[in-house]
Chains A and B, each alone.
Chain A
Amino acid sequence: MIEALQFLVAEPRPNSFDVDDTSSERAAPPRPETAALPLDLRGLRKSFGDNDVLRGIDLHIPAGQFVTIVGRSGCGKSTLLRLIAGLEAPSAGQIGFGEDKLPGDVRVMFQEPRLLPWARVLANVEIGLGTERSSPDAKARAEAAMIEVGLDDKRGQWPAVLSGGQKQRVALARALVSRPRVLAFDEPLGALDALTRIAMQRLLEDVWRDQGFTAILVTHDVAEAVALADRVLVIEDGRIAKDLLIDLPRPRQRGSAELAALEGEILRDLLKGSEDAFEL
C-alpha cells in the first residue's frame, strides 16, 4: 500500500493525508483527511433543442462524499455527469467546486474504457497525467496507479488482450493517476459480468477510501447504488426526486436486510407513477 501511494507524496496537495496512516489496510481504516472538492450545483438546467433534460438541479455535495445517482434510462444522468465534468455547458445555472479547480482535479470514467488500442497499457495510464505526462516521474506515477488497481503485471500489454474488467481497471488507473479531487463515473460497471462487477465495486470503494476524492457514480443497478453510497439521488423529470442518506458502516454486507430494505424503497420510488414500460 505504501508503495502504491508513493506517487501521492511526490506532489503534496493542501490537506493531503498522511501516507503513513494508510498502512492500516482495508479493515475499517479511519477516513483519511482528503483534498477532495465539494460540489455546488445551483439551478442547473440543460436542454437539447426543446428537450428539457435537466429542469433545475440544486445540490450540495460535501467534499469526499460518495454519491450515487439512479433514475430511468434517458432521465439525464449522463447529461448531469457531463455537465459536472465540464464536457457540456449548462443551459442555465452553475456548478461550483468551492475553489478554482485545476485541469486534473475532475476526472470521468465511462462505461466504455476508451483506451487507445495502439498504446500499451502503461502508456494509456500515463495519458491520465494530462499536461504533466511529460514530467520525469510520469512513468513512476503511472506504475503506482497500476499497482493501486492491481494490474501491475499487465503494464506492457496491448489493451486488446485484456478482459473487460481489466480494461476498466486500466481506465480507473488512468483516471486516478492525476489524483483527482472529484471522480465521476458513468455506469462504469454496466458492461461487466456479475462477479467482475462485485470485484470492481470493492475496488472502487477501496480506492475511494484510500484517496478520499468526492465520488459521483451513475448506475442503473439500485443494489450497487445502495451498497456503495453515502447518499443516493433519484432523478425524475429532470429534477432530484429523492435524496437519501445511507449511514451504514463499511464495508457493507451484500444482501443484508438493511440494504435490501433501502433497495426496495428506492425501487418502489422509481416504479411509482410510471406503470407503463420503463427500464431502470
Chain B
Amino acid sequence: MSLVETLARPRTWRLPQADGLIQWIVPLVIVVVWQAASSFGLVPARVLPAPSDVVVAGWKLLQSGDLVRNIWVSFWRASVGFAIGGSIGFAFGLANGLSGLSARLSDTTLQMVRNIPHLALIPLVILWFGIDEQAKLFLVALGVFFPIYLNTLHGIRTVDPQLIEMGRIYGMSNLELFRRVIFPGALPSVFVGVRFALGIMWLTLIVAETIAASSGLGYMAMQAREFMQIDVVVLSILIYALLGKLADSASRLLERLTLSWHPAFQKA
C-alpha cells in the first residue's frame, strides 16, 4: 500500500527532521486533551481512565512480569503465524505466477477459499485444536496467506514481458531470469501484500486471543474486563496499536532498503 501511496504523492521538498517529528503531534495532542478531560472530571474513569492511570497500571504489570510475558506470547504467535502463512502464500504465489499448470490446478480453489472470512472458522478451529497454540497460529497463518498469495501472484504476472524477453535474448537461464528479472519486478507488489498481511495478522490475533486463549495480550484484556480493570483494557489496546505500528515501520524500512532503485524511494 505504501508504494502506491508514495507513487501517487507528488515529490515535494520538506525538512527531513520535521518529517520525523510531525507525525507525533496529533497523538501527543490527543493524550494531552484526554489527560485534561479526565483530570477535570469531564470523562468518568469508569468510561475511560486517564492516561496517567493507564501508565500506572502498565508499570504494575511490568513489575509483576505479566506484561512482558503476555506481550512476548502475542509477539511469538504473530511472528510464527506470519512466517508460516506468509511463506506458504509466497510459495503458492510463485508457483501459480510461474507455472500455468500450477495456476490452473490451484488458483480457482484458492480464490473460492478466499471468500470465506477466516474468522468464521473460529468455532471449527476451537473444535479441532481447543485453545492450544495451534488454534491461534492456524488462524493467523490463514489470514496472512491470502494477501501475500494474491500480491505475489499479481506481482509476477505483471512483470514487464519485454524485460523477460530481453533476459531471454541475452541468454539468461530460467533461474537467472527469476533472480534478476522476475523476482525484483514482483517485489514491490509482494511488499504491498506484506503490509496488508500485517494488519490482518494483528486483527486475527486479537480476536483469537480474546475468544480462545489463556495467555497473550487479548487474554490479558479479557481477564481485566472480568475484574473491571478498565485501565488494563485500555493498556492492552494501546499496546496492540504500538505493535502494529512497529510491524508497519519494520516493513517500510525493509521496503526502502530493497527497493532503493525505485524512483519513489530515491532521495533527491
User: Which chain A residues have a beta carbon within 8 Å of chain B's beta carbons?
Assistant: 85, 87, 103-104, 107-108, 110, 112, 114, 116-119, 127-128, 130-131, 158, 160-161, 174
Counting chain A CB atoms within 10 Å of each CB, the highest count among B166, B172, B262 belongs to B166
The answer to whether A160 and B263 touch (CB under 8 A), given A87-B165, A114-B162, is: yes
Q: A112 contacts which of B162, B170, B266 (Cβ < 8 Å)? A: B162
A114 touching B171, Cβ below 8 Å? no
A103 touching B163, Cβ below 8 Å? no
Which residues of chain A are within 8 angstroms of B263 by Cβ–Cβ distance?
A: 160
Asked if B261 is at the interface (CB within 8 A of a chain A CB), the reply is yes
**Complex Cα spacing A126 to B171, Å:** 12
Which residues of chain A are within 8 angstroms of B261 by Cβ–Cβ distance?
A: 117-119, 158, 160
The answer to whether A117 and B262 touch (CB under 8 A), given A85-B169, A128-B170, is: yes
B184 touching A158, Cβ below 8 Å? no
**Complex Cα spacing A174 to B181, Å:** 16
- The A/B interface has a contact count, at CB < 8 Å, of 43
Which residues of chain B are within 8 angstroms of A119 by Cβ–Cβ distance?
A: 180, 261
User: Which chain B residues have a beta carbon within 8 Å of chain A's beta carbons?
Assistant: 162-163, 165-167, 169-172, 180-181, 184-185, 259, 261-263, 266
Which residues of chain B are within 8 angstroms of A104 by Cβ–Cβ distance?
A: 171
A118 touching B170, Cβ below 8 Å? no
Q: B180 contacts which of A87, A108, A116, A128 (Cβ < 8 Å)? A: A116
A158 touching B162, Cβ below 8 Å? no
**Complex Cα spacing A130 to B181, Å:** 14
A160 touching B266, Cβ below 8 Å? yes
B266 touching A114, Cβ below 8 Å? no
Which residues of chain B are within 8 angstroms of A108 by Cβ–Cβ distance?
A: 169
CB distance from B189 to the nearest CB of A (A): 13
**Complex A-B: 12 CB contacts under 8 Å:** A85-B169, A114-B163, A116-B181, A119-B180, A119-B261, A127-B166, A127-B167, A127-B180, A130-B171, A158-B261, A160-B263, A161-B266
Of all chain B residues, the one with the shortest Cβ separation from A117 is: B261
CB distance from A79 to the nearest CB of B (A): 15
Which residues of chain B are within 8 angstroms of A128 by Cβ–Cβ distance?
A: 170
List the 9 shortest-distance A-B pairs measured between CB atoms, nearest first: A130-B171, A118-B261, A114-B166, A118-B184, A160-B263, A131-B171, A158-B261, A127-B170, A130-B170
**Complex Cα spacing A116 to B163, Å:** 7
CB distance from A88 to the nearest CB of B (A): 11
Known A116-B184, A127-B170, A131-B171; 16 more pairs at CB < 8 Å: A85-B169, A87-B165, A110-B162, A112-B162, A114-B162, A116-B180, A116-B181, A118-B185, A118-B259, A118-B261, A119-B180, A119-B261, A127-B166, A127-B180, A160-B263, A161-B266
Which residues of chain A are within 8 angstroms of B167 by Cβ–Cβ distance?
A: 127
**Complex Cα spacing A130 to B171, Å:** 5
**Complex Cα spacing A87 to B165, Å:** 9
CB distance from A179 to the nearest CB of B (A): 14
A103 touching B171, Cβ below 8 Å? yes
Which residues of chain B are within 8 angstroms of A116 by Cβ–Cβ distance?
A: 163, 180-181, 184
CB distance from B158 to the nearest CB of A (A): 14
CB distance from B147 to the nearest CB of A (A): 23
CB distance from B188 to the nearest CB of A (A): 10
CB distance from B70 to the nearest CB of A (A): 41
**Complex Cα spacing A131 to B171, Å:** 6
Q: A158 contacts which of B169, B171, B266 (Cβ < 8 Å)? A: B266
Of all chain B residues, the one with the shortest Cβ separation from A130 is: B171
CB distance from B255 to the nearest CB of A (A): 13
Which residues of chain A are within 8 angstroms of B266 by Cβ–Cβ distance?
A: 158, 160-161
Which residues of chain B are within 8 angstroms of A87 by Cβ–Cβ distance?
A: 165, 169
Of all chain A residues, the one with the shortest Cβ separation from B160 is: A114
Counting chain B CB atoms within 10 Å of each CB, the highest count among A107, A110, A114 belongs to A114
CB distance from A229 to the nearest CB of B (A): 24
CB distance from A275 to the nearest CB of B (A): 35
CB distance from A117 to the nearest CB of B (A): 6
**Complex Cα spacing A261 to B184, Å:** 50
**Complex Cα spacing A112 to B169, Å:** 15
Which residues of chain B are within 8 angstroms of A174 by Cβ–Cβ distance?
A: 170
Of all chain B residues, the one with the shortest Cβ separation from A106 is: B169
Which residues of chain B are within 8 angstroms of A114 by Cβ–Cβ distance?
A: 162-163, 165-166
CB distance from B168 to the nearest CB of A (A): 8
